[in-house]
Chain A
Amino acid sequence: MIISPLTISLLVVCGLTGLGFYGLLVTRNMIKLIMMLQIIVKAAVLGIVIAGQGNGQLNLSQNVAITIIVVDTIVAVVALAFAIQIRRQMGTLDIRELASLRG
């Protein structure tokens, strides 16, 4: 294994993704869930940049990464709107309270 900037960055991607998914599984607070999702998205952005850099396609990967940042910000905004509205209607941010739909 060669230690290079790219491999170090790749380890960061793996670590962040693992942390993010772990967070998604254990977190109960809705807003915190959204933060965990953001962490995974940031890892994905970094991954795309690494992929482009390693392949000499930096231009392509930059454009892709910018689009991802913008789109996932919009997703986070809609998710936050959901969290606020759920807090208003049900008085809680606990994901476990959202269990009336079953079966």
Chain B
Amino acid sequence: MLEMLPFFLIAIIILYAAIRALRAEGLLMSALWLAAVSAAIATMIYMLSANQVAVIELSVGAGLVTILLIFAIGVAGDEPLSDTPVVPRVIAGFFVLACAAIISFAVRPFELIAVEGGISTHGSIFMQGRDIDLLVQVVVIFSGVLGLVGILAEARAPLDYPVAGEVAARRDQELLAMEQRSEHIPASPDSASKETLIPDSPAVDD
């Protein structure tokens, strides 16, 4: 029974951290508690002797994802939304409990696993026998990165006649700079002349 103690401890840590991640007020705290969940899960996976998964979970799940989350929170900003939840809490809780009841009925005496108590430890070679999975992962990463770039891209004008467009853009910039200079040099430009200057500039790029 004593060798179960670390498992109990880790299990309690995981669930506690998950509850804190759910209930934390700020997004940043939530992200940090999520990292704690991830690190604790990595420990548990390590104790189940799946060493490679533990390493990847620790570095990707606890490390990379947390960094990305913090980065995203930094860009998007936190927004305290403490009002009423989307689905009333009671209904959501009841729904989840009902699902859990059905699931635990299905796997009733935990016959899901042929429990022998012991944990096998045998080495494994990275991605051995799963080569096609590895290749499709590359496809997923490609699509994901392209998706990230595509979704975050700033809106920009398309270039139908690209070289001409670039030249026009450069000329626009120079004109704008000249305009600003000419605004600065005369000490008292009356407002009427300014107004005539500005409508002129878009006509240039035709």
Contact = CB atoms under 8 A, between A and B. Distances in A.
In terms of DSSP, what is the predominant structure of the interface of chain A?
helix
Given A31-B27, A67-B130, A92-B79, A85 B151 contact: yes
B79 A29 contact: yes
Interface string B1-28: 1011001100100110011011000010
Interface residues of A, number: 75
A84 B72 contact: yes
B96 interface: yes
Contacts of A38: 34, 38, 61, 65
B49 A74 contact: no
B85 A5 contact: no
Contact of B115 (A46, A52, A54): A54
Contacts of B152: 81, 84-85
Contacts of B18: 15-16, 19-20, 39
Interface of B: 1, 3-4, 7-8, 11, 14-15, 18-19, 21-22, 27, 30-31, 34, 37-38, 41, 44-45, 47-50, 52-53, 56-57, 60-61, 64-65, 68-69, 72-73, 75-77, 79, 81, 83, 85-87, 89, 92-93, 95-97, 99-100, 103-104, 109-110, 112-117, 119-120, 122, 124-130, 133-134, 137, 140-141, 143-144, 147-148, 151-152
Given A25-B87, A28-B81, 13 more contacts: A9-B7, A18-B97, A19-B15, A29-B81, A31-B27, A38-B34, A45-B41, A49-B48, A51-B112, A59-B122, A63-B126, A69-B57, A83-B72
